[in-house]
Amino acid sequence: MSASYQKLWELLKQRNMKKKDLEELSGLSHYVINNKLTQNKTVTTETLEKICRALGCTMNDILEFVPDRKV
Instruction: Lowest mean pLDDT of 4-8, 23-27, 33-37, 65-69, name the range.
Output: 65-69
Question: Per the domain annotation, does 71 fall within a domain?
Answer: no
In this structure, is residue 59 part of a structural domain?
A: yes
pLDDT level of residue 69 (50, 70, 90 thresholds): confident
Residue closest to 46 by CA, chosen among 59, 55, 34, 57: 59
Examine residue 17 and state whether it is found in any structural domain, yes or no: yes
Residue 45 resides in a domain:
yes
The domain total for the chain is 1
Q: pLDDT tens digits for 14-64?
A: 999 999 999 999 999 999 999 999 999 989 999 999 999 999 999 999 999
Closest CA to 55 of 66, 4, 35, 13: 13
The closest alpha carbon to 8, from 29, 27, 36, belongs to: 36
Q: Which domain holds residue 42?
A: 2-66
CATH number at residue 26: 1.10.260.40
